[in-house]
Amino acid sequence: MRSGVTIFPGSNCDRDIIVALKNITGKAPIKMWHKDIEFPNLDLIVIPGGFSFGDYLRCGALAARSPVIKSIKNHISRGGAVLGICNGFQILIEAGILPGSLIRNKKLLFTCRDTMLEIQDTIVSPFLSGLKKELHLNIPVAHNEGNFFASETLLNELKNDGRIAFKYIKEINNDIDYNPNGSSNDIAGILSKNGRVLGMMPHPERAINKLHGGTDGLKFLTKSFEQIIG
Amino acid sequence: MKVIVNISLKEGVLDPEGQAIKTSLSNLGFENLNDVQTGKQIILNFKNLEEKEAVLETKKMCEDLLVNTVIEKYKINILRD
Amino acid sequence: MKILNQELYNINKNEYQAQQISTLVDAKGMGLTEDEFHLICKKIKKIPNKTELGIFSAMFSEHCSYKSSKKWLKTLPTIAKHVIQGPGENAGVIDIGDNLAAVFKIESHNHPSFIEPYQGAATGVGGILRDVFTMGARPIALLNALRFGSPTEPLTKHLVSGVVKGIGGYGNCIGIPTVGGETNFDQSYDGNILVNAMAVGLANKDRIFYSAATGSGNPVIYVGAKTGRDGIHGATMASTEFTDNSSEKRPTVQVGDPFTGKLLLEACLELMSTDAVLSIQDMGAAGLTSSSVEMASKGSLGMHLNLDLVPTREDKMTSYEIMLSESQERMLMILKPGSEEKAKLIFDKWDLDFAVIGEVTKTGRLILDKDGFEACNIPINPLVEDAPEYERPYEIIQNKNVIKINELKINYTVDEILAKIFQNPNISSKRWIWEQYDSSVMGDTISSNGKSDASVIKIHGTENSKSFGKGIAITTDCTPRYVKSDPINGGMQAVCEAARNVAASGAKPLAITNNLNFGNPEKKNIMGEIVGSIKGISKAASFLNTPIVSGNVSLYNETNGKGILPTPVIGMVGVIDEVENCLEMNAKENNTLVILGQSENFTEGWVGCSIYQEIENKIIDGAPPPVDLEKEKKIIEILLKLHTKKLLTAAHDISDGGLLTTTCEMLFKNNLGLNLNLPKSLLNSDGKDPILHSWCFGEDQGRIIVATEKIDKVKFFLENNSLDYFILGKTNASNNLNLNDMTTIYINDLKNSNEKTLPFIMGQHE
């Protein structure tokens, strides 16, 4: 699989997803510096987490105006797959590639912990087609602005079009705080209209090692990559 | 009656957000800037209250809570209906 | 001055004042004594101008010169085979095998965090990270030792909230995991909170960077953020005379910018991977002054700088202000001549300032130009060599009064005491705090925030087909109430507890960084606390072969004559060869719990200075539990041997709250229960039996509880090595702890109240 990982000043999960991509696919992704515009054709672009431009102004707002975004939009128009994780999800929204907005966590606190994700019935998407619907994924979040907010109309549209990828769900015996940020309808990730762009707040690249965060992220990424090249 | 509080950093306090915005604006081609300063605005919608009293109360609110007076300064404006 | 006064005055009134001859009044205003002022005049053979005097005052400050503690700091053990760099550099460096080095240091940002908790804590984290990456290491973990005032004080809530947000604000943004530390409350910290931040980094053993300047004629480079008037200390002419607009008093608070910090980290490490950097120093306290002086002094060289070339954020900054500014995210470097262009390209890429501001000289003098004139010309040696070193009088007060359990009034039953212990803010779960820290970024955190006694980080890139790789275990520890009662004993205890915590996570303890927080050293008893703790730390650290490789001293933590509890925080680092063998503190079902270091015959526990004493009798008094170094060493060795034989499933050090508290904590995570095996003599005790209480809650040192699936082998090994042990029983799925027929403890209730205490204090409970 030919993949690329964008790097903005302030990205800080770039190394983690590069390690994941390399371990799973056997091939290192290319690094896409925010000021660059020329790239080879790729199967997948990952926009990693972090605090691009320090999260100043609005999370993702300054990154979304970077030159590399144009290349990402071209890649999408060619049918390429894009995965935005955490700050990457925020950037996709600020760039107008995904709808809605991500506002501050309901409790106004940065939150770092495990969450349980339920896979939703979606349109055909390389990120989800390989996963069994009854599978729940235990993947950590770490963010300050992950509260997905949208109008009723948009929320209905996303639901009816099968574009809600993941929802936070209660674990057995777990407290009432299963939704870490208060997002509408417990949404943890959404898809583009063609199903080939996924934005998600949880960090699958932090769950690829049984000693660190478990291996549900590994399952998710491995299946996604199979579908993307398949 | 509405009272607007504009809060900004005191002179000389580093404004990293302003600097990051300035860099991004100049990358987008906006070159005519010396400086960018950020701040925040809080709008207080009072019940029936004399203008004078509202200002006094706002001032107290600023000092007690709204403003971090160690590094921030504020300006109070009245929005008349 | 080499020019006409009027001419200079016209150029810049403020700069003119900065270069005016100083007086004794100026010196006193800058915190220097009369003796110090005369010494300076004598050593530099002239009366200094105000800029020169400012430079002296900064270098002679307690913060830079350690004048009260230096004599005693020199007595700390700092050498061992595995030490690559001890105290005196930006951070300490130890050899952890495989050509790798761990680089670490702890530093306080106490006073700034009290004034402005968010920015104070954030800049504390930023500063300690720069100390580590200045040495060429990529930071891999952050810890924080925090002390706040009484939880019922309204100000405490504000300070906790701000400090925690500030630590998270910086660490989360720069992308270094915050993995552990400690948070305690005591009313002695009401007016003086402690914010001690520790950072650990990883470097190649042969790619460590130092600060000594080299090579006369080599370029001196300024990189990072621009210089503003941040943090220039209040009592100086800069803030009194130079602000024409005094209606808005200029704050001395520094603002942290983790975004620029991240860029500086990446740019420096990128440049360090080339051969361009000869030496490098972080601009921390006293900014450009201490960085330039220390670099020149360590290289026995001089420095000639043109301050007009320093990138500034504000207009018309004077030589005085530029030299004393504490703006964050800046570095000073000496580059190999000819590599400036290559270096500049890297800093341009990261949108950071890069300026050649002068050169290294062989004059041994610090010469500064400003506006075309000489603003400073002084010899460097006296700034460092002649910095005062005080022999302050001291008295070490050791409380030798051993409190026996029958001296205490017993008010509560065992289960009531346990309930109170787990509602105690000092014991309670700190989840509310650590969930605000990103503990999993970088993907290498194996154990954080209390999953094991020390936090464990995998060393990136050491994994192979057989193992997940090497790991580093890190902890911070101190029990201030013990230090208060007996500074020597308290110092030893802090080191031993840290070592036990590292060992209980499966790692071998290697070295220490310490943060010595005390009150006013001009008081005999406070100076005694300093000297006593250093003696205790030295003794234990030598014995355990865990030398001190870096550290920081914070004195004058005192308000209205009321000092803090003496708080010498020990940050310890250990190494674990195969990180998959890291030990958790959580027992599993059907594990046998065994106390190491305590026999069946042991019944009466040590209650002086214990949490138990505080709960029962509302005071903390008497001698703290004694420390037996032989026993501490042995227990660590045996624990690690048992672990190497793969006989253990969990381990947890016995500390605050004693045996029963520790046992309950081991049952929490997996919702377990236990039929506790009491010593025969206590079998018929009721819930208020004093001896039973002391057995349950005494804080005797040198004990660790381990969990095992192979009790016979463990017993055999312990007997062969003649280490005292006592079997507590086998864990079950009941979630109840049966003490004897009379008392059942509901583990889940304790766990819930343990989780609720802190959110309740912070007013954020559901």
Q: Is pLDDT at A39 greater than 80 in this prediction?
A: yes
Q: What is the pLDDT of residue A213?
A: 82
Q: What is the pLDDT of residue C243?
A: 35
What is the tens place of the pLDDT at every residue in A212-222?
888 999 999 99
Q: Does B36 touch chain A (CB under 8 A)?
A: no
**Residue of A58, A62, A65, A94 to mutate for B, most B C-beta atoms under 10 A:** A62
CB contact under 8 A, B14 and C230: yes
Q: What is the pLDDT of residue C459?
A: 95
Chain C residues lying within 8 Å of B11, measured CB to CB: 245, 248, 250
Q: What is the pLDDT of residue C246?
A: 35
Task: Show the beta-strand stretches assigned E in C72-189.
Answer: 83-85, 92-95, 100-108, 138-148, 178-185
Candidates C208, C144, C207; CA nearest to C176 is C144
**Distance (Å, rounded) from C-alpha A111 to C-alpha C432?**
9
CB contact under 8 A, A112 and C582: no
**Distance (Å, rounded) from C-alpha C217 to C-alpha C302?**
10
CB contact under 8 A, C582 and A211: yes
Q: What is the pLDDT of residue A72?
A: 97
Percent of chain C having pLDDT more than 70?
A: 96
Q: Does A96 touch chain B (CB under 8 A)?
A: no
CB contact under 8 A, C173 and A209: no
Chain C residues lying within 8 Å of A110, measured CB to CB: 165, 168-169, 172, 436-438
Q: Does B23 touch chain C (CB under 8 A)?
A: yes
Domain boundaries, chain B: 2-79
What is the tens place of the pLDDT at every residue in A48-75?
999 999 999 889 999 999 999 999 999 9
Chain B residues lying within 8 Å of A35, measured CB to CB: 27
**Residue of C255, C264, C352 to mutate for B, most B C-beta atoms under 10 A:** C255
**Distance (Å, rounded) from C-alpha C299 to C-alpha C211?**
8
Q: How confident is the model at residue C667 (pLDDT cuts 50, 70, 90)?
A: very high
C15: three-class secondary structure by DSSP:
helix
CB contact under 8 A, C441 and A113: no
CB contact under 8 A, A53 and B24: yes
Q: What is the pLDDT of residue C7?
A: 60
**Distance (Å, rounded) from C-alpha C751 to C-alpha C13?**
66
Query: Which two structure tokens, joined as six digits, stand for C13?
Result: 């009134």
C586: three-class secondary structure by DSSP:
coil
- Pick the residue from chain B with its C-alpha nearest to C230: B13
Candidates A168, A181, A205, A115; CA nearest to C441 is A205
What is the tens place of the pLDDT at every residue in C458-493?
999 898 888 899 999 999 999 999 999 999 999 999
Q: Does C195 touch chain A (CB under 8 A)?
A: no
Q: What is the pLDDT of residue C247?
A: 36
Do C352 and C225 contact (CB within 8 A), yes or no? yes
Average pLDDT in chain C: 92
- Pick the residue from chain B with its C-alpha nearest to A10: B20
Q: Specify burial of residue C679 (Cβ count, 10 A radius: 0-12, 13-18, 19+).
A: middle
From the list A35, A53, A66, the residue facing B20 with the nearest CB is: A53
Chain A residues lying within 8 Å of B26, measured CB to CB: none
Query: Which two structure tokens, joined as six digits, stand for C94?
Result: 């130890």
Pick the range with the lowest mean pLDDT from A117-121, C19-23, C191-195, C673-677. Answer: C19-23
Percent of chain C having pLDDT more than 90?
A: 83
Q: What is the pLDDT of residue C685?
A: 86
- Pick the residue from chain C with its C-alpha nearest to A143: C438
Q: What is the pLDDT of residue C684?
A: 85
Percent of chain A having pLDDT more than 90?
A: 87
Q: Does C329 touch chain B (CB under 8 A)?
A: no
Q: Does C326 touch chain B (CB under 8 A)?
A: no
Q: Is pLDDT at C235 greater than 50 in this prediction?
A: no
Alpha-carbon gap: C257 to the closest alpha carbon of chain A (Å): 8
- The neighbours of chain C, by the rule of 3 or more Cβ pairs under 8 Å, are A, B
Percent of chain A having pLDDT more than 70?
A: 98
Q: What is the pLDDT of residue C18?
A: 80
Q: Does B65 touch chain C (CB under 8 A)?
A: no
CB contact under 8 A, B71 and C253: yes
Pick the range with the lowest mean pLDDT from C262-276, C542-556, C733-747. Answer: C733-747
User: Which residues is C516 bridged to in the sheet?
Assistant: C553, C568
- The neighbours of chain B, by the rule of 3 or more Cβ pairs under 8 Å, are A, C
Residue C762: count other Cβ atoms within 10 Å of its Cβ.
Answer: 17
B and C: number of Cβ contacts within 8 A: 46
Q: How confident is the model at residue C677 (pLDDT cuts 50, 70, 90)?
A: very high
Chain B residues lying within 8 Å of C253, measured CB to CB: 13, 70-71
**Residue of C113, C170, C227, C250 to mutate for B, most B C-beta atoms under 10 A:** C250
Q: How confident is the model at residue B11 (pLDDT cuts 50, 70, 90)?
A: confident
C100-108 and C138-148 as β-strands: parallel, antiparallel, unpaired?
A: unpaired
Helix axes C524-543, C629-644, angle to 10 degrees: 40
The CA distances from residue C323 to C385, C421, C613, in Å, are 20, 51, 52
**Residue of A52, A85, A110, A181 to mutate for C, most C C-beta atoms under 10 A:** A110
- Specify the CATH number of the domain A3-229: 3.40.50.880
**Which class is domain B2-79?**
alpha beta
Alpha-carbon gap: C533 to the closest alpha carbon of chain A (Å): 37
Q: What is the pLDDT of residue C241?
A: 35
CB contact under 8 A, B24 and A54: no
Q: Taking residues B71-76, what's their average pLDDT?
A: 90
From the list B11, B23, B70, the residue facing C248 with the nearest CB is: B11
Q: Specify burial of residue A226 (Cβ count, 10 A radius: 0-12, 13-18, 19+).
A: middle
Q: What is the pLDDT of residue A177?
A: 80
Q: What is the pLDDT of residue C4?
A: 46
**Residue of A5, A52, A90, A109 to mutate for C, most C C-beta atoms under 10 A:** A109
Q: Does B28 touch chain A (CB under 8 A)?
A: yes
Query: Which amino acid is residue C305, in one-letter code?
Result: L
Alpha-carbon gap: B20 to the closest alpha carbon of chain A (Å): 7
Active site residue A171: no
What is the tens place of the pLDDT at every residue in C137-186?
999 999 999 999 999 998 999 999 999 999 999 999 999 999 999 999 99
Q: What residues contact residue C21 under an 8 Å CB cut-off, 6+ apart?
A: C47, C48, C49, C50
Candidates C56, C1, C43, C49; CA nearest to C23 is C49
* DSSP string computed for C613-642: HHHHHS---SPPPP--HHHHHHHHHHHHHH
From the list C115, C259, C313, the residue facing B70 with the nearest CB is: C115
Q: Does C348 touch chain A (CB under 8 A)?
A: no
The CA distances from residue A114 to A223, C438, C649, in Å, are 21, 12, 23
The interface predicted TM-score of the complex, written ipTM, equals 0.95
Q: What is the pLDDT of residue A107?
A: 87
Chain C residues lying within 8 Å of A19, measured CB to CB: 443
Q: How confident is the model at residue C234 (pLDDT cuts 50, 70, 90)?
A: very low
In chain A, which among 118-157 make CB contacts under 8 A with chain C?
140, 142, 144
Candidates C150, C560, C603, C175; CA nearest to C405 is C603
Chain A residues lying within 8 Å of B38, measured CB to CB: 56-57
Q: Does B55 touch chain A (CB under 8 A)?
A: no
C86: three-class secondary structure by DSSP:
coil
- Pick the residue from chain A with its C-alpha nearest to C261: A10
Active site residue A13: no
Chain B residues lying within 8 Å of A54, measured CB to CB: 16-17, 20
A11: three-class secondary structure by DSSP:
strand
CA torsion C567→C568→C571→C572, rounded to 10°?
-130
Average pLDDT in chain B: 88
Task: Show the beta-strand stretches assigned E in C518-660.
Answer: 548-554, 558-559, 562-563, 567-576, 592-596, 648-653
Chain B residues lying within 8 Å of C327, measured CB to CB: 14
What is the tens place of the pLDDT at every residue in B41-67?
999 999 888 899 999 999 999 988 788
Q: Taking residues C283-300, what's their average pLDDT?
A: 92
Of residues C547 and C317, more confidence is placed in C547
Q: Taking residues C277-302, what's their average pLDDT?
A: 93
